[in-house]
Amino acid sequence: MTLRDISPGHSCVVRSIDAASALGQRLRDLGLMPGRTIKVLRNAPLKDPMELELEGYLISLRRAEAQAVAVETNHE
């Protein structure tokens, strides 16, 4: 499952990031790392990009890029 599949209001834990170079670096720069919990807050009005919360701050990224983040959901 990737971050792209998580619907708004749900949380997940990052398992791995399948992106080297720029995107992987950028994601890490913003704190998206294996083990981190991410909450998907909402999608943009046209469904893309999506807004996430992690570690007390908010970021947004396009769905195409969210696909590079493999996640697993918390047991709810």
Partner 1 sequence: MSEGRLRVALAGQPNSGKSTVFNLLTGARQHVANYPGVTVEKKVGHFSHDGKRIELVDLPGTYALSTFSLEERVARDFLIEERPEVVVQVADATTIKRHLALFLQIAEMERPLVLGLNKSDVARKNNISVDAAGLAEFLGVAVIPMSAKTGQGRTELKQAIVRAVDRGPAKLRIDYGPLEPVIAKVEALLMDIGGLPDHLPRRWLAVKLLEDDAVLREQFRDRGTETVPLLAQVERFREEIEKEHGKDAGELIGMCRYRLAAATGDKFLTARNPRQARLTDRIDSVLCHKVFGPLILVGVIYLLYELAIVQGYRLTTYTWPLLEGLKGMLSVILPPAAYIYDPVVRSLGLWFIDSVNALLNYIPVFLVLFSLVAFLEDVGYMPRMAFIMDRLFKRFGLHGQSTLPMVLGGVYIGGCAVPAIMSTKGIPDERARLATILIIPMLNCLAKIPLYILLVHAYFPAHKGVAMFFVATISLFMALPVAKILSLTVLRDRDTAPFLMEMPAYHLPTIRGVLGRAVERTWLFVKKIVTVVAAVAVVVFVLLQYPGLSAVQQDDYTGRGRAALARFVAAAAPTAVGERLTDEARVMELIAFSERYKDARRRVSSTEASEAVNARFAQLDPGFYEIVMRGKKSPAARQLDRAFGALERERQTIRREIRAARIDASFLGQIGRALEPVTQWAGFNWRINVSLLSALAAKESLVATLGAIYQQDDEGGASLEERMKATETGFTPLHALALILFMVLYPPCLATLMTIKLQTASYKWMLFSLGYQLGLGVVVASLVFTGARLLGLTGLQAMYGFFGLMVLVTVAVGCIDRAPSRAVAGAPADGCATRA
User: Residues interacting with partner 1, by CB under 8 A?
Assistant: 18-31, 33-34, 36, 41-42, 44-49, 51, 53, 55-62, 64-65, 67-68
- Smallest distance from partner 1 to CB 72, Å: 16
Q: For residues 35 and 75, which CB has a smaller minimum distance to partner 1 in the complex?
A: 35
Q: For residues 16 and 76, which CB has a smaller minimum distance to partner 1 in the complex?
A: 16
Q: For residues 55 and 73, which CB has a smaller minimum distance to partner 1 in the complex?
A: 55
User: CA geometry: angle at 40 spanning 57 and 34, to 5°?
Assistant: 75
Q: Residue 8: which of 38, 43, 36, 32 has the closest Cα? A: 43
